[in-house]
Amino acid sequence: MSPRIKRFFGGLLRVVVLTLFLLAVVLPIYWMAITSFKTNPEIINAQRLTYWPEIFTTENYIALFRLFNYGELLKNSLVVSASTGICVTLLSILGGYGLARYKFRGKDAMLLFFLVTQMIPGILVIIPLYVILSQMGLINTHVGLFIYYLIANLPFCVITMRSFFERIPYSLEEAARVDGCTKYQSLWRIVLPIMFPGIVAVFVFAFIGAWNELIAGTIFISTAEKWTIPVGLKSLIGKYNVQWGVLMAGGVLALLPTAIMFACMQKFVVEGLTAGAVKE
Amino acid sequence: MKKRLLCTLMTALLALFVFSGCAATRPAQQEEATPAKDSSSAEEAAGTETEESAAAAAGEISLRFIDVSPSPARQEYFTSIFQNFEKETGISVAYESVPWDEAANKLTVLGAANQLPDVMTTWAGWLGQFTSANWVLPIDSYIAGTEDQYTEVVTKITWKSEQELYGGIYTVPDGMMVKGVYVRKDWAEEAGLDLDPDAGWTYEEYFDAVRRMTDTAQKRYGISYRGARGAFDPLLVYLEGFNGGKLYADDGSILINSGECLEGFKTWTGIYMDGYAPKDSVNWGFTEMVDNFTGGLTATLINDSEVAPTCQENMEDGSWMVMPMPKSIDGKIYNTVNAPYSYSISTHSQNPDAAWLLIEFLTRPDNNIEYCRMGGLIPIKKDVANDPTYGEDGPYSAFVKQLNDPGLVVPCAFGPFDFTDMHQGMLHEEVQKYLLGQQDAETALNNICDELEARMKQYLEDNSGSAVEQPKSLS
Amino acid sequence: MFKLILYLLGLAVIVALAIKLMGPRLNNRTKMGLEPYLFILPVLTLLVLLFGYPLLNSFIMAFENYKLTAPNDIYFNGADNFKKLFSDRDIGLVIKNSFIYVITAVSGQFLLGMTLALALRKKFPGRGLYQSIVFLPWAFSAFVIGIMFRWSFNGEYGVVNDLLLKLGAIKEQIAWLGTPGLSLLVVILAMIWMGVPFFAIMYLAALQSIPADIYEAADIDGCGVIRKFFLITIPYIKPTIIMTLLLRTIWIFNSFDLIVVITGGGPASSSQTLPSYMYTRAFASYDFGLASALGILLIAMLGLYSVVFLSATKYNKAGDF
């Protein structure tokens, strides 16, 4: 087969694969979105399934804001997730750099310890942490929740950050030192700018980790004004009755901030994360 | 040498902190075992005196209240009620809430951390655990002298049952619920069935109706069959009907594994096996059951009065009706009566008297009727039980009639012992295995019965002087 | 309160000592002063502090009869909790489900994620927009995904059955959530849908860092596409592959929120895995001893898996992630 034909089939295959993936992602999201515009009786109607609402209504979205205080939920989620993202990123830069650049004997043990923290079932951590936080008076505060999200997302982000650092050859920093920079200046001026895409990626992962978490949100927060979005959505599932339309509307809206962040981030991660391929 | 010294030093420090860490939690657990039980006896007057004495003592008391089934309507209701309460007594109340699905876990964590709020809304099924873990305060002394204000359902059934099971009264119901059978009136008429709520029906007639209303060509099934968690609850009531409402004999041996009951078990599950329920329903929980009835897939649904508002919202008037629970072979209606979210006082409360004042306020007739109307419940105080909302024409009439029926018998619960793990597991899983053909009916029923019997006998042994619960009725 | 501060200080001291002990050096040459502590100490202290106590506590509780319903009856009971665990009728099924669940879900995500990453490698018009959309499943909360799948796969009014019937692929409605085997499949599908973006993003980033000239050299040598893939691409991103597989396996093994929401473990425990079992049985019955025993079991299994996996894939020789 000539190279031309090979390339043609290769391209065709790519298009097919990309289309399939797109459909697999878009169809469920479409289904969710379309449901959020239906009235509840139409949604649970067992006799007929409609692919486009018979009665197109925005009542679910209105109810979401008026009755269920979505604005408040949104604000809470943003505050907690943003602070988690920022702190986790900062700490991972420090930790990742330290782990990447320094050699010491306990390195493997440390890695294993980080992994073990991921293996502990969440509930076994949450209960003792609840006791500690309540002694510190941090229950029903966003600070308490933030602390949990911090330690929950830190191990993965540190490991990831470390790998990004390792792709950047030390010679870059050495060159900067030769030019007269101190260690911190070389870190700040040379390394971090190259690392920027990686930093953004880690921030987004940490943000999403906090944004979508449910269990700690219910345990550490007691009053409804301080709920985050997932907890608020969960309250739509009552003992006998599920407000499907409002639930789907809430799910769709909860998607928007993260979707926007993804849109921005993917540009960096994909096009920019060639830091390690810097040629010398 | 230096390194080894450092190592041992580190290990010693680590060990020290392990033990101090453990010690920190242990005493806390034991402290809660001595709750404010003593103070409750001193304030007997509180129940009869008005709020004036309380206001004098209130000063700066603030209470925590947790709602285990929040919704915008409930939140609004409670917030305004608490404001009124504060105006009258000067005690402020903080409204906490947790979504129903997470409520059990949240209370577990709070309990383990000795942080339960002053007043909790409790589901009756948790009482067994709460009492053994010593998390709720007995309120007999608070109630003493005021029993007359409450309907007979509350005094003769709820409270009597609590006394028998747990040795004291622990909750004040927020409203009463009783089960009924929601039926598609239009399908029944089409099938030529004549259903009269006043006359009632027997289980045979009920099963017959289910069969006749099933029409798979039109995508109609006779019953919202409950296959997942809670599957054994209605089945238990049905089987207990063969034994006068009893589950155990006086010595603790179980009664529902008799030949007659085995046949009943097969009849009940036969409804599913013979295709009168959707195949999926072997794993249906509450949500699917209700959704499928209101969505037009099934013809009947056994459920509490709480579902009535949902039906009103999502279904056309006139398409549905409520029948009382079927009568058993002895002509009596066996039905469970309970309150969805009873009020209880936790043993972690620093102000149990103030907490009682709040409960009293919430259950005052004028407040209670408003609450019940909102939630589709039957009021607990005599003064308002005859409110027009619950009159003949409303959907609640079938429920109210059952509550006033002398032929109503409340069968026994699973037992005073902790059965949560069974309820989360084997009670429905054994039945599912039978429905899926993985084991036969006798094995399924025996597995469940053997375990229940073992636990009951163990309980009787451990608690000498206790007796097996008896069925209750109003007469 | 005072005890807590003491605990904090003590732990910080231990961690500092530990680091001193390890004698960090920069690139094997000079011994550094306080510098390394500045970088590593915050992270390490936080993690050891807040994970250390629960970990130790769980370890101890696993060997105790610790039931919240009997608060005065806490005593050391050896391996009784573990015996109780293994004598449960369904434990074999639950463990089997755990393995099926993890292996299928991880393989599915890995293969699909890799495919997607390879397909996205070359630039094409609209790639940015495409990427913003196709990575969205990761941005959903597990709870919302669970609800959506539970509802879509409902045997009677679910959209999946409706579509399949309309397309003629099946004649009769399938009771997805009511059939053992199928219910687990639905959970696996949900997990795969959610997790593909994670692998895709990671691999895409890793693929970007492979220098182009290597491929050119291979082309000159006459390598075919397949050989290029296995001899160049895979070895280059091997560290990434290893780490993502390891982490994702651990996360999935420990996850139960999808299971609890979609099937509740049913029917008849056919979709119950170890973590969901812990959640519904041990935790719900206030038996913390049993729950901790199960937790320790999970950690042991995952720890063993990690060690075996890392050494089998010769992680250390492959360089770092």
Average pLDDT over residues B173-194: 90
Determine whether the interchain pair A116/C50 forms a contact, defined as Cβ–Cβ distance below 8 Å.
no
Q: Give the ipTM of the model, two decimals please.
A: 0.85
pLDDT, one tens digit per residue, over C238-256 is 878 888 898 899 999 988 8
Average pLDDT over residues C197-204: 86
Test mutation, B3, B6, B75, chain A, max A CBs within 10 A: B75
Of the pLDDT bands very low, low, confident and very high (cuts 50, 70, 90), residue B13 is very low
Residue A137 sits at the chain C interface (C-beta within 8 Å): no
Average pLDDT over residues B186-192: 91
Nearest Cα to B291, choosing from A32, A41, A53? A41
- Which residues of chain C lie closer than 8 angstroms to A210, CB-CB? none
Of C4, C19, C139, the CB nearest to A259: C139
Question: Among A39-53, B30-44, B189-203, C206-220, whose mean pLDDT is lowest?
Answer: B30-44
Q: Neighbours of C (≥3 Cβ pairs closer than 8 A)?
A: A, B
Mean pLDDT of chain B: 82
Chain C residue nearest residue A213, CA to CA: C141
> Which stretch of DSSP H or E encloses residue B334?
strand B333-334
Cβ atoms of B66 and B38 within 8 Å: the answer is no
Report the pLDDT value the prediction gives residue A7, as an integer from 0 to 100. 81
Q: How far is B26 from chain A (nearest CA, A)?
A: 12
Of the pLDDT bands very low, low, confident and very high (cuts 50, 70, 90), residue B14 is very low
Structure tokens at A242: 């599920």
Q: Supply the CATH classification number for the domain B180-337+411-473.
A: 3.40.190.10
B173 CB contacts (<8 Å, ≥6 apart)?
A: B154, B158, B338, B339, B342, B343, B380
Report the pLDDT value the prediction gives residue B37, as an integer from 0 to 100. 32
pLDDT, one tens digit per residue, over B238-262 is 999 999 889 999 888 999 999 999 9
Average pLDDT over residues C225-237: 80
Chain C residue nearest residue A122, CA to CA: C254
Q: Taking 60 as the threshold, does the pLDDT of residue C65 lie above it? A: yes
CA B202/CA B208 separation, integer angstroms? 10
Structure tokens at B389: 């909302």
CA C143/CA C155 separation, integer angstroms? 20
Of the pLDDT bands very low, low, confident and very high (cuts 50, 70, 90), residue A200 is confident
Residue spans of alpha helices (H) in B135-280: 140-143, 152, 160-166, 185-190, 203-213, 232-240, 259-273
Residue A276 sits at the chain C interface (C-beta within 8 Å): yes
Reported pTM: 0.83
Average pLDDT over residues A102-123: 80
Task: Tell me if B53-176+339-409 shares its fold with B180-337+411-473.
Answer: yes
Q: Supply the CATH classification number for the domain C91-312.
A: 1.10.3720.10
Residue C22 sits at the chain B interface (C-beta within 8 Å): no
Report the pLDDT value the prediction gives residue C54, as an integer from 0 to 100. 84
Average pLDDT over residues C133-145: 88
Q: Taking 50 as the threshold, does the pLDDT of residue B7 lie above it? A: no
Q: Taking 90 as the threshold, does the pLDDT of residue C124 lie above it? A: no
pLDDT, one tens digit per residue, over B379-408 is 888 776 667 777 666 778 888 888 888 888
Q: What is the DSSP string of A51-78?
A: SS-SS---HHHHHHHHTT-HHHHHHHHH
Average pLDDT over residues C59-81: 81
Residue C16 sits at the chain B interface (C-beta within 8 Å): no
> Which stretch of DSSP H or E encloses residue C41?
helix C35-61
Nearest Cα to C101, choosing from C252, C285, C293, C303? C252
Average pLDDT over residues B213-242: 90
B343 CB contacts (<8 Å, ≥6 apart)?
A: B119, B120, B121, B122, B171, B172, B173, B174, B359, B362, B363
Residue A209 sits at the chain C interface (C-beta within 8 Å): no
Of B32, B282, B421, the CB nearest to C285: B421
Q: How far is C119 from chain A (nearest CA, A)?
A: 6
Report the pLDDT value the prediction gives residue B93, as an integer from 0 to 100. 94
Test mutation, B182, B291, B317, B348, chain A, max A CBs within 10 A: B291
pLDDT, one tens digit per residue, over C97-122 is 999 999 999 999 999 999 998 888 88
B49 CB contacts (<8 Å, ≥6 apart)?
A: none
Q: Taking 90 as the threshold, does the pLDDT of residue B236 lie above it? A: yes
Q: Taking 70 as the threshold, does the pLDDT of residue B229 lie above it? A: yes
- What domain range includes position A95? 68-277
Of C133, C298, C321, the CB nearest to A25: C133
Of the pLDDT bands very low, low, confident and very high (cuts 50, 70, 90), residue C193 is very high
Report the pLDDT value the prediction gives residue A169, as an integer from 0 to 100. 75
Domain boundaries, chain C: 2-61, 91-312
Report the pLDDT value the prediction gives residue B30, as an integer from 0 to 100. 33
Between C24 and C37, the higher pLDDT residue: C37
Test mutation, C22, C51, C145, C219, chain A, max A CBs within 10 A: C51
As to burial, measured by CB atoms within 10 angstroms (0-12 exposed, 13-18 middle, 19+ buried), residue A75 is middle
Average pLDDT over residues C221-240: 80
| Residues of chain A numbered 90-149 and touching chain B (CB < 8 Å) | 123, 126-128, 130-131, 134, 139-140
Test mutation, A240, A243, A244, chain B, max B CBs within 10 A: A240
- Which residues of chain B lie closer than 8 angstroms to A127, CB-CB? 109, 112-113
Question: Among B211-220, B237-246, B317-326, C60-69, whose mean pLDDT is lowest?
Answer: C60-69
Between C119 and B52, the higher pLDDT residue: C119
Report the pLDDT value the prediction gives residue C21, as an integer from 0 to 100. 65
Report the pLDDT value the prediction gives residue C189, as an integer from 0 to 100. 94
Q: Taking 60 as the threshold, does the pLDDT of residue B447 lie above it? A: yes
Of the pLDDT bands very low, low, confident and very high (cuts 50, 70, 90), residue C5 is low
Q: Has residue A39 been placed in a domain? A: no
Which CATH superfamily, name and number, covers B53-176+339-409? Periplasmic binding protein-like II (3.40.190.10)
Test mutation, C39, C85, C138, C277, chain A, max A CBs within 10 A: C39
Average pLDDT over residues B275-297: 88
Of the pLDDT bands very low, low, confident and very high (cuts 50, 70, 90), residue C60 is confident
Most confident of B12-21, C12-21, C201-210: C201-210
Question: Among B232-246, C86-100, C226-240, whose mean pLDDT is lowest?
Answer: C226-240
> What single DSSP character describes residue C10?
H
Report the pLDDT value the prediction gives residue C28, as an integer from 0 to 100. 47
What proportion of chain A, given as a percentage, has pLDDT over 70? 93
Report the pLDDT value the prediction gives residue B349, as an integer from 0 to 100. 92
CA A20/CA B438 separation, integer angstroms? 39
Q: Taking 50 as the threshold, does the pLDDT of residue B39 lie above it? A: no
Report the pLDDT value the prediction gives residue B41, as an integer from 0 to 100. 33
What proportion of chain C, given as a percentage, has pLDDT over 90? 14
Most confident of B120-134, B436-450, C214-228: B436-450
Determine whether the interchain pair C284/B111 forms a contact, defined as Cβ–Cβ distance below 8 Å.
no
Cβ atoms of B285 and B231 within 8 Å: the answer is no
Q: How many domains does chain A have?
A: 1
Between C198 and C24, the higher pLDDT residue: C198
CA C215/CA A21 separation, integer angstroms? 27
Mean pLDDT of chain C: 82
pLDDT, one tens digit per residue, over A155-175 is 999 988 887 787 777 787 788
What proportion of chain A, given as a percentage, has pLDDT over 90? 22
Q: Taking 80 as the threshold, does the pLDDT of residue A224 lie above it? A: yes
Residue A29 sits at the chain C interface (C-beta within 8 Å): yes
**What CATH number is attached to the domain comprising A104?**
1.10.3720.10
Nearest Cα to A113, choosing from C242, C18, C82? C18
Q: How far is B247 from chain C (nearest CA, A)?
A: 22
Q: Has residue A99 been placed in a domain? A: yes
Structure tokens at A173: 């920093």
Of the pLDDT bands very low, low, confident and very high (cuts 50, 70, 90), residue C321 is very low
Strands (E), chain C: 25-26, 30-31, 64-65, 75-76
Q: Taking 90 as the threshold, does the pLDDT of residue B204 lie above it? A: yes
Report the pLDDT value the prediction gives residue C241, as an integer from 0 to 100. 86
Report the pLDDT value the prediction gives residue A25, as an integer from 0 to 100. 93
CA B377/CA C127 separation, integer angstroms? 57
Q: Neighbours of A (≥3 Cβ pairs closer than 8 A)?
A: B, C
pLDDT, one tens digit per residue, over B418-442 is 787 788 888 999 999 999 999 999 9
Of the pLDDT bands very low, low, confident and very high (cuts 50, 70, 90), residue B54 is very low
Q: Taking 70 as the threshold, does the pLDDT of residue B164 lie above it? A: yes
Of the pLDDT bands very low, low, confident and very high (cuts 50, 70, 90), residue B8 is very low
Q: Taking 60 as the threshold, does the pLDDT of residue B280 lie above it? A: yes
Report the pLDDT value the prediction gives residue B118, as an integer from 0 to 100. 94
Report the pLDDT value the prediction gives residue A273, as an integer from 0 to 100. 44
Q: Taking 80 as the threshold, does the pLDDT of residue B111 lie above it? A: yes
Of A131, A215, A240, the CB nearest to B306: A240
CA dihedral A127, A132, A133, A134 (to 10 degrees): 90
Determine whether the interchain pair C148/A31 forms a contact, defined as Cβ–Cβ distance below 8 Å.
yes
CA dihedral A256, A259, A260, A265 (to 10 degrees): 160
